[in-house]
Amino acid sequence: MIKIIKRIAQTGLIIAFPSLLSAQYIDTKWTVTGYFGEFWFAEEANIFGKQQEISKGWADGVFYSCDYAGQSATYKTYTMTEFLRNKEFELVNQGNAFSKVFAEHGLMSDDTKVFVHRITCNGKKVSDRKVLYPFITVDGSNKAFYVYEGAIIKLESDEKIWPLR
């Protein structure tokens, strides 16, 4: 009987809150709180404190926008160790940049999952096509990271939807 009650409760939660099924919530308003590394061409004043909002088929912000023009998102999940050893991020991770950024935010646990998102916008015409990649989130955190020029951009969501670390 207890198993049946638990199953009904789980099903009810999933129906009421389908976002619980997602790997990591990205549909929110993110604020740029800092960066690690260097900008090659961009000015810090044009990025710091600015926002990036993602909401289902719509996005607007300092790095990427899509006005209901075929936005989609995929992700790949890594353990912390797998992510830090991934050759795809070798160039930006020189000097253990990601380790330093993650450690600064208390996110360096071996059992922590790292989600690397690819968010794309098809656009209304070919010249409108855009990609936001890699947009990185860490399980149990309201922090996100985006590689831009020679820097790792730090973003934070005001929403308290995760069991925060």
Boundaries of every domain in the chain: 22-157
Question: How many Å apart are CA 85 and CA 125, to the nearest integer?
Answer: 37
Q: Average pLDDT for residues 128-144, to the nearest whole number? A: 93
Residue type, 107: L
Q: How far apart are CA 25 and CA 139, in angstroms?
A: 9
Burial class (CB in 10 A: 0-12, 13-18, 19+), 155: buried
What pLDDT sits at residue 6?
Answer: 52
- Spatial distance between the Cα atoms of 106 and 58, rounded to a whole number of angstroms: 31
Q: What is the pLDDT of residues 47-103, one digit of tens each?
A: 999 999 999 899 999 999 999 999 999 999 999 999 999 998 877 777 889 999 999
**Single-letter residue type at 61:** G
Phi-psi region of 97 (alpha: psi -120 to 50; beta: other; left: phi over 0): alpha
Q: Which of 47, 31, 49 is nearest to 39 (CA)?
A: 47
Flag whether the pTM goes above 0.85: no
Give the distance between the most distant pair of CA atoms in the chain. 63
Which residue bears the tokens 């909002």?
53
Work out the percent of the chain whose per-residue pLDDT is above 70: 82
Give the integer Cα–Cα distance in Å for 76 and 60.
23
Closest CA to 116 of 152, 146, 72: 146
| Cβ contacts of 42-47, under 8 Å, gap ≥ 24 | 42/148, 42/149, 47/148, 47/153
- Give 153's strand partners: 35, 146
Does residue 2 register a pLDDT over 70?
no
Which pLDDT tens digit goes with each residue over 93-128? Answer: 778 899 999 999 889 888 889 999 999 999 888 988
Residue 98 · residue 50 · CB < 8 Å: no
